[in-house]
Structures are given as structure tokens and as C-alpha cells.
Structure 1
Amino acid sequence: MVKNAGTSQLVWPLAGAADTVAIADATGSLTFGDLTARAQARSLEWGARQLVLLHLGPDIESVISYLAVLSGGHVGIVFGSSQVDLAHRVREAYEPSLVAGPGGWERTGISAPEMHPDLQLLMSTSGSTGSPKLVRLSRQNLQTNTGDIVETLGLTSADRTITTLPASYCYGLSVLNSHLAAGATVFLSSMSVTDACFWVDFNRVRPTTIAAVPYTLSLLESANWQAHDIASLRLITVAGGAVSPADQTRWREYSRVVGFDFVTMYGQTEATARMAVLRPEDYQHGRTGRATPSGAFRLDEKADERPGVGEVIYSGPSVMMGYASCSSDLARPAE
């Protein structure tokens, strides 16, 4: 873990050449070296370990604060612009010592609570709606899952992506982490894929990868995406819901004609992000995919009397530390 702003070592997950562009948005860009320096300086400015309520938006300022959390061993509570009500409840329940986001950061005047040394991030999950229940993720969870994604998708420093999902969503955050960890470039977009401005940026960035949820696929088709210059694409990943058989067939045909890999994935916030990957060569309707390299699936047949039927259990070092509902839960070890 990097804690000295004077060192030239990149902060995790940054792994690109110091003079290579790491992130860009509508306002400008930062190289891996510049991004490291900005994140380390901010972390040192924060001081001792903080609990940071982080509005992680599609902008450079937010990403600097996110990386400051990681570089200094702070703990971040991640939320997005669509989760403002939840953020208010979370602020009341956890009493963060700092609040950060697109507009900068400020202290709340409250001391950080006791927090377990392994704890790194707190993220909402499908069960968080209307309550401050959050998933506790360790640094090991993040690093392991990120490494698995880089390996499975074959991400390299030659890749470029344009964001289509909020980074406050575990899948969207995994896109940011994995591309930066591969030394790739991330263009932070706030535009819908149906917005003409998105395609202006797309043509300028010429991304090699795009991440989608099933609804994104529908939006891409409504935007007549094939009318644009998409020759740079080598990979489209889809997670966040089941892709219908008809959509699977259509998009796999698109991938064959255009020349990109269409990879479906399965994951949960509780396992940091992604648990299973279905490569094109493994495709068969009904399959979820193979477990990520560090994880494993097993079938617990005790859950059902029928042979071959039971509860599918995933295990591995990317599985969460547990849940939290208030600040006192942050000191608890992994369950």
C-alpha cells in the first residue's frame, strides 16, 4: 500500500506507464503518473485513516478521491447520483468523517469510527433499497476480483473503454478497476448510449471494450449502433441480468460479423463484482459460465431432495467480509 506522496510507485489499481493516459473526461485527462500524484497528495491531506462518504461519478475529481481512499488505506462508502436518498440514510447511520465527490471534499467534523484493518469499501447491494445495509469489502476482495477480470478478459495496456455504467454499481466499478489495473485508458462518460454526444466521444476514443447490462443492449440497438464506426471494438461484456435467448442469438451474430467477443458474466456485490464468465467458445443456452480463476462453484444438494438439484454456492477470496448496518459493524472481522 502506498502512503508516501513522494514515491514514484503507482497506487493500486494503477498499473500503466507513468506517461500514458489513465483517465479522461469532458474536461481533460490525467496520465497514470499524474493520477498517482493527485491521489497520494489528497490521501495525505486527509490525514489519519478516514471514513469517506464518496459520491463516485463519471468525472476525474471523483476518481481521484476514490484512489485516495485506496492509496491511504481509508474506507470509502460508495454511492452514485441515483442514490441520494440512500446516501442521506447512510450518512446518518455511519457518520463518515469526510464527504467527497465531483465538487471536491470536506470534513464533517466527526471522528472516524473504529474500522477493521482489512476493510476498504462499503457498497450498496440489491438488498440495500431504503436501508443503510451495505456490503463490506476488503482490499484483498478488490485486488483478487480485479486480477481475475483482467486475466479472464485478457485486458492489456492497449485497451481503451468508454464508461456506460455508473462506478457506484459494483459491475461499473469493476470496469474502472480492471482497466486501470491492466494499464488501459478509461474515458469517463456521463452520456447515455442513445445520446449523439456519446457517439462523438466514442469516435474520438475508439474504445476496444464496452461493458453493458441487458438494457444497454436494447439502447444500443435503438441508437442504430452499427451505423457508427465500431471497428475498434474487440470485446463487449454483459452482466447485471439474464440475456434472453433471442438477444443472445442476435448479439452473437453481431459479434461474428463485426469481429468482437460477446462475453456474458454473472456476479454480485457480495463477491466484489464478477463470479462467472461465459466465453463465446463455451456458450450454450442456460449456462452461467465458468467461475473466475480464484473462485469456485459447488452444488449443495442438501437444499433439495431431487438428484442434481440444489443450492449453488460460490467461494473464494473475493467473497465479502459480511454486511454492515451501522458504524459499529465496521470493526468486525470477516464472517
Structure 2
Amino acid sequence: FCRCGPGFRVSPAGDQCDDVNECEEQNGVCGDVGDCVNNLGSYTCTCPEGYRQVNGTSCRDVDECVEEAELCHPHGRCVNIEGSYQCVCDPGFTTSINTPSCDDIDECRLNETRCGLHGFCENRLGLFQCVCDQGYQVSQDEQSCEDVNECELLSSVCGEAECVNVDGTFLCVCPSGQDYNFMTAKCESIPKAPPVERKECYYNLNDENLCESVLTSHVTLQECCCTLGAGWGDNCEVYPCPVNGTDQFTQMCPSGRGFIPSEDLLYGLQFSDHYKDADECSLFGQEVCKGGYCKNTEGSYECYCMGGHYYDPIRLECRDINECLDEMLCDGGECQNTDGSYVCMCRHPLVLDPDSHRCVPVPELAEQ
């Protein structure tokens, strides 16, 4: 009669002790996660990662959160689960892919317009901050920038004027006919600009009959004196224009001859960079280019005359060219000047050669 030890049983013949295969005969001997390996007289449980053998015959979950206290720190907490653990991260952090910790979430990179059109997103550890433009403030939920109502925030910011809030700023509005003075915070009447004087412009002050030297009427002092005028006035009472190159001329015409104030400066302060080119052709019409075509240029003008004429810049007119002053013309005959041209009068038997403009004998008569 055989008496067998643990892990063995008497053979059917009763003459020996056979090994018991616990892995086959005992269901779940290693639990739900371990693998059972039979050996002589016993068995061993092989445990997966996250579990630990207990006496070699069972698998027990490892509590990583207890054994490794620094897991998930400093921006998360460790939660043990069966066979593993999880990092529960603080708001603004996410589980790291590479290490057992929590990484900061860059909210600004995820959404570049997070703070809206009037703010800049600045990432911070575990959160983000909206840096707002002037006239805006961070909203109550700290997720965007919203307009500051200066009229409510600063009750007397406009003094006696009405405060009107607009997006990003505010306006101080006065009644019609008044303008707001930021220095005194008061509404003041808009001063009426004096009317600009417009008089006649004279080209030559040396003419005996001065009133016949009028270039045009109804122009300002600078439209006259900064262009072609020698004097400005009316009823033959003339203010002489300063001579170009003098200090008086520079004060009146800071940008030089041919440039006059822009229209918006006629009533206020004048600066050299607010002057425009004077269109002499428009200001003076045919008076500066009699008998020709006037073309405005930057700071001046050009007068184009018809053939046979030249422009006289003193008389401001196109004048006939006296071709007969050229002794080479009408050689052997008599030159008679005409308006814009000339005529050659040849004495018989001479005739005019159209190529050389000379009087030559008739070929047939010369041969005889």
C-alpha cells in the first residue's frame, strides 16, 4: 500500500505514486491572469507585467502607486488599476507619452485665435493667459478679450460732453456746432474760418496801363505770387509779390515756385509737405499760352505752338518766326514773311527751286 505526498496520487495499479497535473485538474489555479506551468509534485504560476508571484502558486496585482510614490508627479495623481496604473492629470495637463508623468497642454498652439481678434494667447504652466489689446480686458471666464466700456468705468471721462462707447475705445461727442477740447474736457464752439480773399493777379507791374496786365481774377495771394504773378490786388490797388529767392518768398511759398497750399490748408496752418502742384493752365487759361496749347507740368507748365511759331515766355504768347531773317532762303529773289510761314518772290526768268528754296533759272532757258 503506497502513501503519496502532496502533488502525487496512487497509480491505478496501486504500486506507485503518479504526479498530479494541477494545471489540468484545477480550473483557474493561477487566477484569471497567470499561466499555470506543471512540474513534478507541484506547479508554478507565471505572472504577466503588473502582477507578482505569491509563493509561486498565484498572481497578485502590484500597486505601482504605493511602490513608486513619484509616479505621475508633480502635476497628476496615480490611480492603481488591475495589472497597471493610470495618471489622472491636473487641469491643463495631459498624460505624457514617453514618461510616467503629466505634460503641460499648450492651449495657444492648439487654437491660435483662442483669445479672439483683440488679444494674444500666452501659454503658462497648466493654463493660458489672454493678453488683451488696449481698450479690451479679459472676460470673466478668462477665455477671451472683451471691450472695456470706458463710459461706465470712468463716469466723468468726457467732462460735459456725452461719452459714447465704441469697440476698443470711446468718443466724446459734443452738440452740433461744437468741438471737444481734450485739454479742458469741455465742448467749445467751432470758430468760423475767415473767408479766403480772392483777387486779381497781375503779370507785369511795369506796364503803364496796369489794369491791362491782369492774368486772371478770383485767385488767392499764393495762387498768384507762387506761380507767375508779380502783383495781387483789385481795383488797380496791387500788393507786389515777393521776389523769388528772398525770405519773404520762402515764407509765402515754402515748397517753391509752382506749388500752392492744398485746399484743406487755406483756413489753417500751412506746412511744406501739404502743398500741391499749381496747374497754371487751369488757373490762368489762355493768358499764359496765347495762340498755343498749354500743358501743366510739375512745378511749371509748357506751351506748344503751331508750326512756324515760337513761345515767348516774356509775352506769354506764341509768336511768328520771321523765316526771312535767314539769308540762305530765297537767294536770288525776294522773301516775304507770312504768319507761320514765308513766300519767295522770284524775278523772271528765275523760278523757285522747291528743294533748295532758292531762285534758279528755268532749265529750258538756260540751255538756249
* Band of TM-score, shorter chain: under 0.3
**TM-score normalised to structure 2 length:** 0.18
- Pick 1 or 2: higher relative contact order, CA cutoff 8 A, min separation 6: 1
**TM-score normalised to structure 1 length:** 0.19
Structure with the largest fraction of helix: 1
